[in-house]
Amino acid sequence: MASNLARYFYGAAERAPGHAAVIHEAGSLDYAGLRDLAESLRPGLADDPRPFAAVLAPRSPFAYAAVQAILAEGKAYVPLNPKFPAERNAYILEKAEITTLLVGAECLENLAALAPLLRKPLRVVLLDSAAAAAGGLSGVEVRPMPALSGCVPAPLKPALSGGGYVLFTSGSTGTPKGVRVTGANVDAYLRSFQAAYPLSPSDRVSQLFDLTFDLAAHDQFSTWAAGATLVAFPEKALLAPLPFARNHGVTVWFSVPALPAFLESARQATEGALPEVRLSLFAGEKLTLNTCLRWRRIAPNSRIANLYGPTEATIAITHFELRPDFPPERALHGGVPIGKTFPGQEAEVRREDGSLCKPGETGGLWLAGDQVAEGYVGDAAKTAERFRARDGKIWYRTGDLVMQDEAGELHYLGREDFQVKVMGYRIELGEIEHALLAASGAAFALADVAPLRNGLDEIYGVLPGACAPRRKDILAGLKERLPAYMVPRSLFFRDDIPVNSNGKMDRQALKAMLLAASSAALSPASA
């Protein structure tokens, strides 16, 4: 069977060309119109021999059409985030050896900032309406594509193989690492997801995630597979999403668990605000029972499911549906179980010595199955470190600590390393510490997360006291080096860093000090 993911969208466009494919801030576009847009971009990719091509665009019809055009040509797409620093996007282009970049009209300023950082020539594909503004950039070959009008009588068929995507996640060495996910990986996920939580053409699926977040891949491909409608939230609606969701008839909601807590703290958690939502999905970080209870008041007619999965295991590999009769005592440390693996996938809980844990014991989570990705692009050492061959299978070591109960349900307990999740983003604290050192020139730097304000986890940084006078410059340097979601919300300047018996900085003791001390005494600086 063909594994190219473009077949889902192209099949839906053939079955129901007039059905709404995407609703966005400016209106809507049917499947035929979105297919026309994808077809208009394909000629710009046709003679590129590289297996990957990149997209630089916000949530928009152009972005979704660009993804389909790349897939239809048998390539994997590599999303760049317009909100990321140009240096980070330039690194991704170089690491993935990208030679073709599809750019939305909203991102011409991003392209201008990116161009001087390129070490190799880059072909840029834009629609005619945006091409003139991109001319004259050094090292960039602009390929304008005329937008097609009207339904394409006989569109090109998608390639049978290839496809998938490469997502760059936070890296502990200060540079992001690219996870290669194939079309077959996504196929396996979609089969299981659709069996457990079937969507239909009448559904309207929320799309709140940036393309660089793998949960955005879920939104797109589950929508196209069902012939449903994607509802792309504009940036300004993310701070108050409930009215936009209600006004556009969202029936399937997907967000990180932190969002309901934010809505509550912002006094936006209106009871009964989303009566049409029938399925609510949460993923990306620990889901608490309290969060579910909050959300059930907002969307009273909805099923609630907790999905779990690192990018390396393709979107979600375990799931748990929280039914109304769920006993509160099963919420370990207040958290909803992450459940059991989808059919055909495997999970093992192992001790540090590699032996299997018994039910009730805490251990590291290992995953196997046809959802597990190929590894990291251009990083054989990192791939060998995290992906291990055993029993004729490839096992991925997640670094997550879990406990499996007597019923076989998995419970997420935390991390083995210095990786954290904030608002669903997986972040290596080491990458932030690299940036803190580079921006400050300090002898040491520490980054961590704690509920310092509003009861929500947020990133903070700690630097020597001598750096305090340069606080503003350090923050400016961090914003040049890191995506906004990775920039510490607070900076603390201290010389009395507690150490443990090994002489290393004691993170937990320091965190306790910061939580106990008053914000005035610590002089936090909001980023």
Q: What is the pLDDT of residue 429?
A: 83
pLDDT higher than 50, residue 55? yes
Query: Which residue in 3, 40, 234, 20 sits closest to 126, CA to CA?
Result: 40
Burial readout 261-290 (b: 16 or more C-beta within 10 A, e: otherwise): bbbbeeebbeeebbebbbbbbbbbbbbbbb
In a domain, 464, yes or no: yes
Q: What is the pLDDT of residues 275-325, one digit of tens each?
A: 999 999 999 888 888 889 989 999 999 999 999 999 999 999 999 999 999
In a domain, 288, yes or no: no
Q: What is the pLDDT of residue 156?
A: 66
Give the chain's length. 527
Last residue of a domain, one of 163, 195, 211: 163
In a domain, 36, yes or no: yes
Burial readout 13-51 (b: 16 or more C-beta within 10 A, e: otherwise): beeebebbbbbbeeebbbbbbbbbbbbbbbebbeebeeb
In a domain, 99, yes or no: yes
Q: Domain containing 104 — which CATH number? A: 3.40.50.980
Query: Per-residue pLDDT averaged across 179-198, rounded?
Result: 97
Last residue of a domain, one of 163, 198, 214: 163
Distance CA 476, CA 465 (A): 18
In a domain, 284, yes or no: no
Amino acid found at 315: I
> Which stretch, 93-102, 257-266, 407-416, 428-437, has highest mean pLDDT?
93-102
| Average pLDDT value for the chain | 89
Q: What is the pLDDT of residue 161?
A: 72
pLDDT higher than 60, residue 521? no
Q: Domain containing 429 — which CATH number? A: 3.30.300.30
Q: What is the pLDDT of residues 272-282, one digit of tens each?
A: 999 999 999 99
Q: What is the pLDDT of residues 102-112, one digit of tens each?
A: 999 999 999 99
Q: Which residues contact 90 (CB under 8 A, 6 or more apart)?
A: 114, 117, 118
pLDDT higher than 90, residue 498? no
In a domain, 209, yes or no: no
Distance CA 429, CA 503 (A): 20
In a domain, 479, yes or no: yes
Q: What is the pLDDT of residue 152?
A: 57
Amino acid found at 196: A
Q: What is the pTM of this model?
A: 0.84
Query: Per-residue pLDDT averaged across 396-425, rounded?
Result: 88
Measured CA to CA in angstroms, residue 340 lies from 348, 467, 514 at distances of 11, 48, 37
Q: What is the pLDDT of residues 429-455, one digit of tens each?
A: 878 888 898 899 886 788 888 887 666
Domain of residue 451: give its range: 419-522
pLDDT higher than 70, residue 150? no
- The count of structural domains within the chain is 2
Last residue of a domain, one of 163, 194, 226: 163
In a domain, 475, yes or no: yes
Q: Retrieve residue 519's tokens.
A: 């914000």
Q: What is the pLDDT of residue 217?
A: 97
